[in-house]
């Protein structure tokens, strides 16, 4: 009953513990002073104690532990980022019903092949929103909200001019409503206004993919940031009519942040922390939903050209995407297809709710580490490895490779 222990520790140790200690301190002072047989001295010191407390609390607001769940005041257009308390109780009541995927990470090598069609078509896509429990870091579990049970959700691939018929179904085990806003959609809410689905419900949205590009999609049910911070994002590629230049391998990588009440590395199931999300201070920054989400899943060979579709679900940070030991031969900045790509780029910016496409040839075998070059985030989980096999070329790189020697 790890789950119950986590809830009890959160409620009693973190929140009530502080309150109990505080009240006890007041009583203790009172009793000590009563021992001195001076009732009025005791009362006046107690008043000082209370006065000082009010002085600190009134201007500062409630201490961190008390802000969840009811007292956090926010000013967005819809519901705030705090989970409805009823849903928190429901979560613990229905904890046995949630699916427990062994790996929440979407396989970065799982990218649909380039589109061969030369004509526009009507494309049917079905996606299911699902709330699951999975491991985010060794021993650290999270209640993820997902598209099709992985983070990021499925990589969608259509052609410029296609008509897309997208059916969104919310799994009956879900506790929350969900929807989908695709940045590839021209129309209100990016489709979110037409796809708000209650648990067990299905809705279909039809849209025409007018602009080529690599676009983020995400859940847009209020509170949007909260839903995204639970893992509800993915990428849709609208290929230009003439297609993208041919490469040998394509990979799907998406950065995202997780906000937990437990500090970095605190084991057990973690409760979402609305306050740290508002402050933009995630405990975890990861690729593909968890620490090590790309591990052992990205490999290529010397002589091949690879393309990375890189997205950023945010919700707060901008990614300074970099591959250690490689230079991007081409970058489609902000994933804009249609203009000339940038050449010979070291790091590229991937905005929150945005994407980038980078391409590079592989000349030297070894491990290439994908990072957000705001490198403190490495320690929060933001890194992955592309393994490159093949013949070494000493005219390009020569040296003894020491494991653990720098990168």
Closest approach of Cu ion to the CB of residue 235, in Å = 17
178 in contact with Cu ion (CB under 5 A): yes
Is the CB of 178 or the CB of 377 nearer to Cu ion? Answer: 178
Closest approach of Cu ion to the CB of residue 354, in Å = 20
Is the CB of 197 or the CB of 370 nearer to Cu ion? Answer: 197
219 in contact with Cu ion (CB under 5 A): yes
Is the CB of 254 or the CB of 323 nearer to Cu ion? Answer: 254
Is residue 385 within 8 Å of 295, Cβ to Cβ? yes
Is the CB of 101 or the CB of 366 nearer to Cu ion? Answer: 101
Binding span for Cu ion by CB under 5 A among 117-125, 223-231, 325-333, 343-351: 223-231
Binding span for Cu ion by CB under 5 A among 46-54, 74-82, 135-143, 172-180: 172-180
Mask of contacts with Cu ion, 237-266, x by CB under 5 A? ------------------------------
Closest approach of Cu ion to the CB of residue 226, in Å = 8
Is the CB of 231 or the CB of 381 nearer to Cu ion? Answer: 231
Residue 387, number of CB atoms within 10 A of its CB:
15
From the list 106, 157, 183, 227, which residue makes contact with Cu ion (rule: CB under 5 A)?
A: 227
221 in contact with Cu ion (CB under 5 A): yes
294 in contact with Cu ion (CB under 5 A): no
Closest approach of Cu ion to the CB of residue 221, in Å = 4
Closest approach of Cu ion to the CB of residue 281, in Å = 22
Is the CB of 212 or the CB of 313 nearer to Cu ion? Answer: 313
Binding span for Cu ion by CB under 5 A among 120-128, 171-179, 201-209, 373-381: 171-179
Binding span for Cu ion by CB under 5 A among 20-28, 156-164, 224-232, 278-286: 224-232
Closest approach of Cu ion to the CB of residue 4, in Å = 26
Q: Which residues form the interface with Cu ion (CB under 5 A)?
A: 178, 219, 221, 227, 232
């Amino acid at each position: 009953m790890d789950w119950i222990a986590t809830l009890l520790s959160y409620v009693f140790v973190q929140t009530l513990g502080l309150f109990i200690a505080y009240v006890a301190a007041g009583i203790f002072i009172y009793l000590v002073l009563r021992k001195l047989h001076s009732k009025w001295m005791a009362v006046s010191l107690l008043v000082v104690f209370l006065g000082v407390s009010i002085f600190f609390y009134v201007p500062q607001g409630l201490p961190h532990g008390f802000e969840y769940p009811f007292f956090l005041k926010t000013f967005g257009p819809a519901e705030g980022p705090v989970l409805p308390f009823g849903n928190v109780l429901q979560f613990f009541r229905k904890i046995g019903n949630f699916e427990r995927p062994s790996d929440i990470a979407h396989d970065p090598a799982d990218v649909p092949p380039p589109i061969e069609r030369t004509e526009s078509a009507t494309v049917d896509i079905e996606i299911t929103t699902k709330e699951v429990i999975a491991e985010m870091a060794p021993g650290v579990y999270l209640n993820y909200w997902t598209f099709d049970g992985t983070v990021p959700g499925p990589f969608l691939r259509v052609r410029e001019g296609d008509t897309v018929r997208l059916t969104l179904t919310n799994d009956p085990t879900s506790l929350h409503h969900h929807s989908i806003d695709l940045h590839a959609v021209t129309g209100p809410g990016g489709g979110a206004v037409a796809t708000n689905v209650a648990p067990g419900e299905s809705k279909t949205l039809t849209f025409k993919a007018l602009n080529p590009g690599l676009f983020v999609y995400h859940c847009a049910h209020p509170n949007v940031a909260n839903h995204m911070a639970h893992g509800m994002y993915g990428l849709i590629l609208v290929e230009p009519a003439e297609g993208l230049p041919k490469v040998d391998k394509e990979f799907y990588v998406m950065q995202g942040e997780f906000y937990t009440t437990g500090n970095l590395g605190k084991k057990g199931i973690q409760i979402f922390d609305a306050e740290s999300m508002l402050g933009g201070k995630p405990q975890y920054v990861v690729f593909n939903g968890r620490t090590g989400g790309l591990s052992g899943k990205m490999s290529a060979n010397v002589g091949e050209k690879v393309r990375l579709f890189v997205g950023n679900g945010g919700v707060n940070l901008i990614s300074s995407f970099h591959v250690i030991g490689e230079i991007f031969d081409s970058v489609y900045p902000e994933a804009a297809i249609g203009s000339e790509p940038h050449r010979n780029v070291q790091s590229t910016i991937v905005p929150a709710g945005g994407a980038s496409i980078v391409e590079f040839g592989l000349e030297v075998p070894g491990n290439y580490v994908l990072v957000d070059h705001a490198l403190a985030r490495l320690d929060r989980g933001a890194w992955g490895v592309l393994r490159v096999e093949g013949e070494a070329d000493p005219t390009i790189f020569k040296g003894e490779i020491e494991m653990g020697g720098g990168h």
